[in-house]
Structure 1
Amino acid sequence: MISTYLGYVSATKDMASTLARIAKQATVKSDQQYYDAHIGKIKNVDEFLSDYKLYSYAMKAYGLEDMTYAKAFMKKVLTSDLSDTSSFANKLTDSRYRQFAAAFNFGGTSKNQSAQSDLQKSDTIGLYEQSFANETALAKKESKFYDTWIDKVTNVDDITNSSRMTDYILRAHGLNPDNISKAFLKSVLTSDVNDPNSFVNTASNFSTASLQPTYKLIASQFSFNADGTLSGATAQTAEQKEAMISRYDSMVPSLLTAAAATSNDDYYRQAITKVQSINDITGDNRLFSYIKTAFNLSSKLTPVQFNLAFTNSDYAAVTGMADMVSHFQFASDGTLPTGQPAQTQQAIDDISTKYLSQAKDAKQNLFDDAEKHYKTAVSGIKTITDFFAANDTKNKNLPTIEDMALRAFGIGKNEVSRDQLRKILESDPYDSKSYVNSLKDDRFVELAKAFNFDSEGNLRAPVAPLSQTSINSLISAYSKSKTFGLTGEMRDKAVKDAKDAATEFSKSIAKIKTVDELLADKKLTEFILVANNIDPKSVDKNTLKKAFTADPEDAKGFLNTQAGQQFKAMVNAFNFDAKGNLTTAKIEPGQNKGARLATNDLYLHQTLETQQGSSNEGVRLALYFQRKAPQVNSVYDIMSDPALYNVIKTTYSLPASMSNMDVTRQAAMLEKLFPIKDLHDAGKVNNLLKRFSAVYDAANGGNTTSPASAILTRGSGTGMSADLMLSIAQLRSR
């Protein structure tokens, strides 16, 4: 029988190869294959506990094999909300239970499920507001194009054959180009507005009477003969062109600029003096929009409703338009008495004052109100049905949730039907074969990424580089590493610094979409490395990129080599694919892929230790100590784990009776023997275990089965009095 020393060295010389050999053993391979094939199908904790083969495999992996019988107890562990310090698992002194709960998705998940995270809401609102700035910039670009191009027109066909030109002219007048044919527009542009029999003066050519004045206005701004040729030197005079550009710059951007408001006010003062009927107002969208803004009326107010306010005083009172009506001199039939203007000069001045006042803060008020409404409405969404129901807003001047979302991602409301939008939002944007990716339009993909609906329209957790459980684990590990071995003021400062770093980490990691973005952020990578007990100075960016894009399931891949194995647990926790992009492929209802791989790895370690222990318990103790050493942050971690404590007592020839001493005296003695920080140094741990092996063999002679090491079969954290465990837990929490 080989010595403890040779057994330990043989097993750890190339741990990756050792574990690979264990994985090939028939029973181990069969158990692992069963776990991999079935854990992804588990949807809740009861299904997990009822599958004994799955459940017992996981329990063994986390060193809880002796508690497999206690299903009711373990259910309380698994459903604990680890973000709640008072939850069941967090109250237990044995950290294995928290690690076990953290490996599965059975507890506290509802808190992480929302239609949009705070970051997603903020991004959507930001894109929504930015769309208006983009719209204004584009409008200026289009006006510059029109200014040059219109002077080159020689025939009406030059306009009607150019979708860019027709769009410009029609949108300047508040018309939708999609609803107007080329032939219809040509008839309008070649009409003589002074000929009562021309196209624009024949009411039967228009679907509604309210549209006729708008087209007469368009025709009056061009100089074309009936055959489409020019009747003058250019299609428009300098004044007509300037008026067209002014109209477009005012009408097309959805929000008013200060310059546009002043221009609209000048236009109103001139145009209102020429108005002869209500239809002259509703037929000029610029005038109509001006009045609606001045009296804070709904932007969706129709010409029919506007006319009704003048002919029905009760309707005007109920709809809040009585004040607006009182500023005009229209008769009940919507016309003006002969020689009487639509408004007195005083009324014009009053409306101008109202308009400029409303326009001054209109943009910011709209943004503020829309943002408040959006955040409130989105927070109440629980299903995709709620999303569409949230579009019913009492304030008709506010955009709907759907409107804001579509505009934020540059999608026209008429581009998608309600059914298509539902399919997009329920589609997986991270799956190349999904419905939304089949559309081959990045706008729809980004929209789907902005919301958290699953394939059935229910909420899911946001797709992020790390789960909240993993983030919490990293923060805890980082804090322990940074405060490691410190006392007094130095520790207090380190605790504060670690807390600040954790806050920044939580905010920054949520914004990461790719491995390249992650590695480009030095603070983020350093935080992650420190939390994983890896010295940031010992790793370069290329090595990290190699680790993050390696396949952890490839037995010959980088992560399963001696050099890459230190990164395996770290990489497994992230939801990145082989190309370094976010993926949902690693996210499962019961257990994420990274946690599954970590569970498999722990199972192999546990199996190795058990098999080694069958012939030499000293080797088993040494292997267990090597695995757990990086997680040790104080002597109390050692004292609370009988197996770890046994290795230390054996190595330094401490008496067994030492465990009966006062806890603080035990801690003081251990702190004098060796620096705890040495346990985070693989080389120093290796040297300590070589010493342990020699002392263990000397103490046990040819009998390598030590009763003291049998505690491993019962799991760490047992074999110690309840009073001692409580004392250690209290001291560790200080």
Structure 2
Amino acid sequence: MISTYRGYVSATKDMASTLAGIAKQATVKSDQQYYDTHIGKVKNVDEFLNDYKLYSYAMKAYGLEDMAYAKAFMKKVLTSDLSNASSFANKLTDSRYRQFAAAFNFGGASKNQSAQSDSQKTDTIGLYEQSFANETTLAKKESKFYDTWIDKVSNVDDIVNSSRMTDYILRAHGLSPDNISKTFLKSVLTSDVNDPNSFVNTASNFSSASAQSSASVQATYKLIASQFGFNADGTLSGATAQTAQQKQDMISRYDSMVPNLLTPSAATSNDDYYRQAITKVQSLSEITGDNRLFSYIKTAFNLDPKLTPVQFNLVFTNSDYAALTGMTDMVAHFQFASDGTLPAGQLAQTPQAIDDISIKYLKQAKGAKQALFTDAEKHYKTAVGEIKTIADFFAANDIKSKDLPTVEDMALRAFGIGKNEVSRDQLRKILESDPYDSKSYVNSLKDSRFVELAKAYNFDSKGNLRAPVTALSQTSINSLISAYSKSKTFGLTGEMRDKAVKDAKDAATEFNKSIVKIKTVDDLLADKKLTEFILVANNIDPKSVDKATLKKAFTADAEDPKGFLNTQAGQRFKAMVNVFNFDAKGNLTTAKIEAGQNKGARLATNDLYLHQTLESQQGDSNEGVRLALYFQRKAPQVNSVYDIMSDPALYNVIKTTYSLPASMSNMDVTRQAAMLEKLFPVKDLHDAGKVDKLLKRFSAVFDAANGGSTASAASAILTRGAGIGMSADLMLSIAQLKSR
């Protein structure tokens, strides 16, 4: 019979190879294949509990075989919300139950699914607001291009054949380029505004206008025609298509109309323009025909942006309508007669009225930006919070609120997508598509905007809510936070412990906020605080590993028996990287996310099963080897002497190693703890080298004590419970101390 020392050394010399050998055993291989094949098909906790082969495999992996009969109890464990300190699993003193619950997706966290997480909402709103700044930048770029390009025009065809210039000119006057033909625009640009019979002066050419009155549309196009010098045949009537002043006016108009959001500089420019232009106005149609003037007045008096020229004209000719709509004050600022005309030689406004409206406009403009963003953000968050299905998403877009943008408006604008670029059917397919699957519909579009849009919302292929795709599940985040706190506080007392607890809590809060923003392994490794937090939580000294090694670990295939994670050097990172949802390229993936158990948790379960099987098989011939292997596996999780004292198997190894009397278990708990703390620093159990030395010493002492026989009661020691290795009162006392 092999000695404990030789058995332990042989098994741990190359643990990866030892476990690989266990995995090849016929029964183990069959059990693991069954688990891997069926766990991904489990949809709920009842299906899991009713498949005894699955259930018993998992229970053995987490050392809970003796509780397999208690299905009702285990169901309460598995459905516990680990983010809630008062949940069933969190109230149990035995940490194995929390670890078991954390390995599966049956907990309360799944009940808190939403169309967007807080992080996704913040990102979308931020992109929406940024789009206005981007629009301003683009507007300046377009104006710079126009400034150079227009001087090179030699014929009207140069303009109408350039969609970029056509778009620029029409948008500068508040017109949409859609449905305006080249022929129509050419007729406008080659019209003589002083010839009453020219195209632009013939009312019948504008009689089909819909959204605005034909007179208003005609006035707008007359304004456009007046800014160019083309002959009837399209040739230039002067040296250039526009004079320097006409060009500057055009650019000024465009900069004020685009972007949609009013900037401080644009507001000042609009005010200067209004003061000059209003003195030349002779009719109401000249105001409504100039979108810049019309928008200025609507902003100054806080009128509905959708106020039409017909409604505007009506308030000047119908005092009852003006009173009903609250526009009497606006009418009073102008000198138009009751029929909407100006008396001969009279200006549309007095100098005082111009000053008054200027004050109103600049005041309104100053608060417009923040008001728009604040109201839009509040409305968006409320609307998104009520979305439960893809149908709700579209229903929310059919409900307007105080002219605020809808959820769809903000979503499309945030990701730079025009409303006319996608139909509702296409948008539905995009949002129901998996952006992390290279073969999905959204990825087939070959447009990163649509991919990012799909990533921003949490809909599955049927339009129902799913959990957001993040680097870590909330359960894993909670587990890391708990492990980090224990690691940072173990062995400390008094003020030092109080400070460590506070610091750990602050670090956990920051970690929780930062980890949800991580999209790639590179993002993670670039954040030193996040990386160190994760390493400490896994009992790995951050100083002992470099960035290159971590990158290698995170992008390695855990299922490759010859891969880095299954080597002696990479073994210590395996459990850490398995819980992350990264693919081989270091990007987020949904391939590891499954209904019952994520892939990382499945691999960890398999790994634990192999360890448990190894320990069990070794125990059949030598219980000392089993104890040593168990201690080696559990040592990194020990954070205080009370963790050792509450685990009979761990405590037995320590008592054997240091030749402590069996009667010691009957001593006062505090005295026991003090004695153990003098024997060895608990932090040494996080050092693999020191643990190895301790276990080699244990093996030698164990062999000496048992001679050639290993028929000890170690199997009973490994079974947790009162009366095994210590009294029930002692177990209770330790549990109480640990909960403090």
Tell me, yes or no, whether TM beats 0.5.
Answer: yes
> Do structure 1's residue 411 and structure 2's residue 407 form an aligned pair?
no
C-alpha change, 1:733 and 1:344, in structure 2 (3 Å) is same
Describe how 1:217-296 pairs up with structure 2 within 5 A.
217-296=223-302
**1:394 CA displacement:** 5.3
Aligned to 1:576: 582
Letter in 2 for 1:123: D
Give per-residue Cα distances to partners, 1:199-222, cap 9 Å, x unaligned. Answer: 112223232113211111111111
Aligned to 1:372: 378
**1:335 CA displacement:** 4.5
> Do structure 1's residue 97 and structure 2's residue 115 form an aligned pair?
no
Aligned to 1:126: 126
Looking at structure 2, the residues matched to 291 and 716 of structure 1 have their Cα atoms a distance apart, in angstroms, of 81
Aligned to 2:113: 113
Q: Which moved more, 1:54-63 or 1:199-208?
A: 199-208
> Do structure 1's residue 608 and structure 2's residue 596 form an aligned pair?
no
Letter in 2 for 1:147: D
Q: Which moved more, 1:457-466 or 1:340-349?
A: 340-349
**1:468 CA displacement:** 1.5
Describe how 1:608-627 pairs up with structure 2 within 5 A.
608-627=614-633
Letter in 2 for 1:697: D
Looking at structure 2, the residues matched to 439 and 314 of structure 1 have their Cα atoms a distance apart, in angstroms, of 55
1:635/1:667 contact within 8 Å kept = yes
2:83/2:109 contact within 8 Å kept = no
**1:641 CA displacement:** 0.9
2:400/2:406 contact within 8 Å kept = no
SS at match of 1:414: coil
Looking at structure 2, the residues matched to 441 and 548 of structure 1 have their Cα atoms a distance apart, in angstroms, of 28
TM-score, normalising length from structure 1? 0.95
> Do structure 1's residue 505 and structure 2's residue 511 form an aligned pair?
yes
Describe how 1:330-369 pairs up with structure 2 within 5 A.
330=336, 334-336=340-342, 341-369=347-375
2:665/2:727 contact within 8 Å kept = no
Aligned to 1:161: 161
**1:228 CA displacement:** 0.2
Looking at structure 2, the residues matched to 689 and 257 of structure 1 have their Cα atoms a distance apart, in angstroms, of 71
1:224/1:235 contact within 8 Å kept = yes
Give per-residue Cα distances to partners, 1:448-495, cap 9 Å, x unaligned. Answer: 222222222222222211112212222222222222322233323322
2:619/2:715 contact within 8 Å kept = no
Aligned to 1:399: 405
Looking at structure 2, the residues matched to 356 and 535 of structure 1 have their Cα atoms a distance apart, in angstroms, of 59
> Do structure 1's residue 77 and structure 2's residue 83 form an aligned pair?
no
Q: Which moved more, 1:456-465 or 1:67-76?
A: 456-465
Aligned to 1:709: 715
1:643/1:716 contact within 8 Å kept = no
> Do structure 1's residue 729 and structure 2's residue 735 form an aligned pair?
yes
**1:142 CA displacement:** 1.6
Equivalent residue for 2:466, pick from 457, 460, 463: 460
**1:313 CA displacement:** 5.0
**1:67 CA displacement:** 0.7
Give per-residue Cα distances to partners, 1:181-200, cap 9 Å, x unaligned. Answer: 21211111011122222211
1:575/1:582 contact within 8 Å kept = yes
Looking at structure 2, the residues matched to 467 and 303 of structure 1 have their Cα atoms a distance apart, in angstroms, of 55
SS at match of 2:178: helix
Aligned to 2:170: 170
1:642/1:717 contact within 8 Å kept = no
Looking at structure 2, the residues matched to 293 and 111 of structure 1 have their Cα atoms a distance apart, in angstroms, of 45
Percent sequence identity over aligned pairs: 89
**1:75 CA displacement:** 0.6
2:666/2:727 contact within 8 Å kept = no
**1:277 CA displacement:** 3.7
**1:268 CA displacement:** 2.2
2:623/2:714 contact within 8 Å kept = no
Letter in 2 for 1:77: V
**1:302 CA displacement:** 2.9
**1:20 CA displacement:** 0.5
Say what the alpha-carbon RMSD is for the aligned residues: 2.1
Letter in 2 for 1:439: L
Describe how 1:669-680 pairs up with structure 2 within 5 A.
669-680=675-686
Looking at structure 1, the residues matched to 133 and 121 of structure 2 have their Cα atoms a distance apart, in angstroms, of 19
SS at match of 1:364: helix
**1:30 CA displacement:** 1.1
Looking at structure 1, the residues matched to 112 and 558 of structure 2 have their Cα atoms a distance apart, in angstroms, of 27
Aligned to 2:147: 147
Looking at structure 1, the residues matched to 514 and 402 of structure 2 have their Cα atoms a distance apart, in angstroms, of 37
Looking at structure 1, the residues matched to 714 and 145 of structure 2 have their Cα atoms a distance apart, in angstroms, of 88
Aligned to 2:487: 481
2:36/2:602 contact within 8 Å kept = yes
Looking at structure 2, the residues matched to 295 and 681 of structure 1 have their Cα atoms a distance apart, in angstroms, of 73
Give per-residue Cα distances to partners, 1:645-677, cap 9 Å, x unaligned. Answer: 122222222232322222222222222222222
**1:429 CA displacement:** 1.3
Looking at structure 2, the residues matched to 725 and 319 of structure 1 have their Cα atoms a distance apart, in angstroms, of 79
Equivalent residue for 1:558, pick from 539, 558, 564: 564
Looking at structure 2, the residues matched to 100 and 118 of structure 1 have their Cα atoms a distance apart, in angstroms, of 28
Letter in 2 for 1:243: D
Aligned to 1:525: 531
> Do structure 1's residue 299 and structure 2's residue 305 form an aligned pair?
yes
Q: Which moved more, 1:630-639 or 1:234-243?
A: 234-243
1:23/1:604 contact within 8 Å kept = yes
Aligned to 1:427: 433
Looking at structure 2, the residues matched to 107 and 718 of structure 1 have their Cα atoms a distance apart, in angstroms, of 33
2:621/2:710 contact within 8 Å kept = yes
C-alpha change, 1:398 and 1:95, in structure 2 (3 Å) is same
Letter in 1 for 2:639: N
> Do structure 1's residue 211 and structure 2's residue 197 form an aligned pair?
no
C-alpha change, 1:649 and 1:242, in structure 2 (3 Å) is same
1:554/1:560 contact within 8 Å kept = yes
1:431/1:584 contact within 8 Å kept = yes
C-alpha change, 1:311 and 1:439, in structure 2 (3 Å) is farther
SS at match of 1:178: coil
Looking at structure 1, the residues matched to 652 and 689 of structure 2 have their Cα atoms a distance apart, in angstroms, of 20
> Do structure 1's residue 638 and structure 2's residue 651 form an aligned pair?
no
**1:331 CA displacement:** 5.6
**1:345 CA displacement:** 4.5
SS at match of 1:47: helix
Q: Which moved more, 1:185-194 or 1:253-262?
A: 253-262
Aligned to 1:695: 701
SS at match of 2:559: coil
Aligned to 1:495: 501
SS at match of 1:177: coil
**1:380 CA displacement:** 2.8
Give per-residue Cα distances to partners, 1:48-81, cap 9 Å, x unaligned. Answer: 1111111111111000011111111001001111
Letter in 1 for 2:143: S
Letter in 2 for 1:583: T
Give per-residue Cα distances to partners, 1:347-380, cap 9 Å, x unaligned. Answer: 4333222212211222222222222222333233
Structure 1: gaps spanning 5 or more residues: none
Looking at structure 1, the residues matched to 403 and 710 of structure 2 have their Cα atoms a distance apart, in angstroms, of 82
Aligned to 1:539: 545
**1:109 CA displacement:** 1.4
**1:722 CA displacement:** 4.3
1:81/1:87 contact within 8 Å kept = yes
TM-score, normalising length from structure 2? 0.95
Looking at structure 1, the residues matched to 357 and 734 of structure 2 have their Cα atoms a distance apart, in angstroms, of 78
Q: Which moved more, 1:628-637 or 1:192-201?
A: 192-201
Q: Which moved more, 1:702-711 or 1:329-338?
A: 329-338
1:112/1:462 contact within 8 Å kept = no
**1:129 CA displacement:** 1.7
**1:332 CA displacement:** 6.1
**1:255 CA displacement:** 1.9
Looking at structure 1, the residues matched to 189 and 42 of structure 2 have their Cα atoms a distance apart, in angstroms, of 68
**1:126 CA displacement:** 1.8
Give the number of equivalent residue pairs.
733
Q: Which moved more, 1:134-143 or 1:394-403?
A: 394-403
> Do structure 1's residue 59 and structure 2's residue 59 form an aligned pair?
yes
Looking at structure 1, the residues matched to 219 and 121 of structure 2 have their Cα atoms a distance apart, in angstroms, of 43
**1:330 CA displacement:** 4.7
Structure 2: gaps spanning 5 or more residues: none
